[in-house]
Amino acid sequence: MPHSIIKKILQANVYDVAVETPLTRAKQLSNRFGNEIILKREDLQPVFSFKIRGAYNKISQLSPAQLANGVIAASAGNHAQGLALAAQKLGVKATIVMPATTPDVKVNAVRGWGAEVVLHGDAYDEAFAKSQEIMAQSGQVFVHPFDDLDTIAGQGTIGMEILRQHIGKIDAVFIPVGGGGLLAGVASYIKYLRPDIKVIAVEPQDAACFKAAREAGEPVRLDQVGIFAEGVAVGIIGSNTFAIAKDNVDDVITVTTDEMCAAIKDIYDDTRAITEPAGACALAGLKKYIETTGAKDQTLIAINSGANVNFDRLRHVSERAELGEKREAIIAVKIPESPGSFRSFCQALETRNITEFNYRYSDPEQAAIFVGVQLGGHPHSRENLLNDLKDYEIVDLTDDETAKVHIRHMIGGHLRSEKGELLYSFEFPERPGALLKFLNSLGGEWNISMFHYRNHGDAYGRVLVGLQAVGEETDVTQYLDALGYPYQDETNNQACQLFFK
């Protein structure tokens, strides 16, 4: 098969619709990691993904009779868009079965290219089964998103471009893996011409079907598949793709959700382009490779495979990126329930910036607070933080998925005290040390019964504070006026009444 797939790649017909995408040097990343880091920009395709290559190569080779029946596919989105555009170009009817979890931006794009969309199931495998049912009834030609030699050959043209565009030294190429079409095509071409180049597959930890197949020696179905990076959320690697890839891939690296989020941020910082999680998967693996091998002065290329992401998903990406960069730690801390304890704890953090501070009064003796702390990105930064806080009772929640997804947003509840509380919202200019300065200004006149703060990267920090000062409203108002921070009395705010009173 090696020689035949190379011939197919060389003969692939993709440029009627696809473009030759550039290699972009990631300047900031290269300087930061001491390696030449380069991105292959498949996010710049007309459908914002490499999938247009394989889809067009496949259907451009169908017979007139086959084209007359139309084409059908199952896809999490990127293959769907590629096939929809390819079908429109050739005047062919296309039906695409997509998981119901597919981002709206991909579904709407497919419909925009004129294809009929059927939403079914939660992941690719369920969509695939439904597409087979429809195909049996309609007689349409099934265009597989990855496990087809013509599709693989179309994706392999990326390998041709990489070697043509970068003539000099290449130490390793990092390729994201879902069903394996991109991996098989690019790996086979690179290894055929440049066997000295390492080819490294990268896939999410919760969708590592290629890793499982390598360990078993054959494709195996995963019991569960994580869908955060839906573009590579495949339960079993293709038989054709595995047969080609297994002999052309040097290693496989798995990455976490947080690491992919950090890579999305890295790509944005260097290119101002926003990728989907699957699109940043290869870069996340590249960074992990440097971290684990200590690579220096190497030329490393990561394929940015796509940029089809719902805008509202960026909230989650932003929330997790700092954790993925190891620049933020999440901890639970117990401190004495007494005026001034907040301030003392913040002073123990020294110069570290607080990114989040959640607290609700529940016990007269001891307070439990949820804290996000900005780290320097050094591998031992979290250890140093925990060591500096050794006088406190601490639980490190940085790797606790439940804490990051749920607990941080649910801290609150009703006040367990007869003293009652007054609620105020504050604003202060956001800069390092601003929160500590605010706490010092707030002082210890009254017991703080609630405190919520999250650094969102805005120019101003926003805090919601509860003070046990019922009956002393006039004194509190005079005190807060003298502080000089803009504030609002939220005691009678409807939402606060519902959830805090």
Annotated catalytic sites, by residue?
51, 305
Cα separations (Å) of 439 from 214, 453, 454, 469? Answer: 55, 12, 14, 17
| Residues 234/212, Cβ–Cβ less than 8 Å | no
Tell me the C-alpha distance between 479 and 482, whole Å.
Answer: 5
Give 450's strand partners.
360, 466
**Structure tokens that stand for 201 in this block:** 């597959």
**Structure tokens that stand for 399 in this block:** 């790797």
Tell me the C-alpha distance between 456 and 267, whole Å.
Answer: 20
**Which distant-in-sequence residues (6+ apart) come within 8 Å of 456 by Cβ?**
none
Tell me the C-alpha distance between 55 and 109, whole Å.
Answer: 16
Tell me the C-alpha distance between 320 and 461, whole Å.
Answer: 19
The CA-to-CA distance between both ends of the chain, in Å, stands at 70
Give 116's strand partners.
95
Cα separations (Å) of 101 from 88, 226, 295, 395? Answer: 25, 11, 38, 34
**Structure tokens that stand for 328 in this block:** 């933020």
| Residues 274/309, Cβ–Cβ less than 8 Å | yes
Q: Radius of gyration over alpha carbons of the chain, in Å?
A: 27
DSSP class of 368: E
